[in-house]
């Protein structure tokens, strides 16, 4: 209590005894108005970019447990196609264009030495092929084979079946809104990683 009175005196605020509820409310009101006055006179150092970054990070963080379970049953894809999710990710990347081991590593956030065995398994399964660069023999490009494209088409059909099952939970307008949001995410995320 003494410390509170000393602070009030130092700030030029009237000393208030905190022994009744009315006085507690008065104290809180005075303190809030004091802070409000101080806040409005402070230089504006509020960084809107930092707020945006925190908001995006928070949304991504909140999405982590929801995305794989609520939206897409990845475990069903892995089980039905007898293929680890990392292999599916590589096939999806290669469906757009051939990539080097380093590019795949960078896009997936997996170290190069760990990508090579994954690509080797896909190659042994006849889904991709490794081609050495003509200009730099150290670089190996990975190319999707027709069997890999067929496997990917089957996976895509299963994803479409899962999305079709959303009709019971989401309205058509919600699905459209979600699709537009996903299209933006894919476009923006693609430009970040390239």
Q: Sketch out the chain's domains with CATH numbers.
A: 2-37 (no CATH), 74-193 (1.10.10.10)
Is residue 164 predicted with pLDDT exceeding 90?
no
Is residue 25 predicted with pLDDT exceeding 50?
no
Quote the pLDDT of residue 91. Answer: 94
DSSP 168: G
Per DSSP, helices labelled H in the chain are 2-10, 21-41, 48-66, 74-81, 85-96, 101-108, 112-124, 146-164, 172-193
CA separation, residue 155 to residues 116, 118, 144 (Å)? 23, 18, 15
Is residue 73 predicted with pLDDT exceeding 50?
yes
Rg of the Cα atoms in the chain: 28
Q: For the whole model, what pTM was predicted?
A: 0.65
For residues 145 and 38, the model is more confident at 145
Nearest by Cα to 81 from 164, 158, 146: 158
The token pair at 37 is: 């006055």
What is the average pLDDT score of the chain? 77
Residue 8 in contact with residue 16, Cβ under 8 Å?
yes
Residue 140 in contact with residue 130, Cβ under 8 Å?
yes
Quote the pLDDT of residue 134. Answer: 87
Residue 139 in contact with residue 132, Cβ under 8 Å?
yes
The dihedral sign for the CA sequence 30, 36, 38, 41: negative
The dihedral sign for the CA sequence 54, 55, 60, 61: positive
Is residue 16 predicted with pLDDT exceeding 90?
no
For residues 152 and 46, the model is more confident at 152
- Min mean pLDDT across 44-53, 54-63, 162-171 is at 44-53
| CA of residue 144 relative to chain centroid, distance | 27
The label of the residue with tokens 């042994």 reads: 124
Mean pLDDT, residues 58-74: 69
Quote the pLDDT of residue 103. Answer: 92
Q: Distance between CA 83 and CA 37 in Å, rounded?
A: 62
Is residue 140 predicted with pLDDT exceeding 80?
yes
């Amino acid at each position: 209590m003494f410390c509170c009175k000393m602070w009030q005196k130092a700030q030029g605020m009237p000393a208030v005894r905190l022994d009744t509820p009315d006085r507690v409310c008065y104290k809180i009101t005075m303190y809030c108005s004091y802070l409000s006055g101080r806040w409005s006179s402070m230089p504006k150092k509020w960084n809107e970019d930092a707020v945006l970054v925190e908001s995006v990070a928070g949304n991504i963080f909140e999405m982590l447990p929801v995305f794989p379970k609520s939206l897409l049953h990845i475990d069903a894809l892995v089980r039905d196609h007898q293929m680890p999710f990392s292999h599916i990710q590589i096939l999806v990347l290669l469906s757009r264009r051939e990539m080097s081991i380093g590019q795949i590593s960078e896009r997936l956030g997996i170290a190069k030495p760990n990508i090579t065995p994954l690509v080797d398994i896909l190659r042994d399964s006849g889904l991709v092929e490794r081609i050495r660069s003509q200009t730099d023999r150290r670089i190996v490009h990975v190319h999707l084979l027709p069997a890999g494209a067929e496997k990917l088409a089957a996976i895509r059909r299963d994803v479409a079946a899962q999305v079709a099952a959303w009709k019971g939970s989401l309205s058509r307008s919600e699905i459209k809104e979600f699709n537009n949001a996903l299209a933006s995410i894919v476009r923006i995320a693609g430009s970040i990683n390239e």
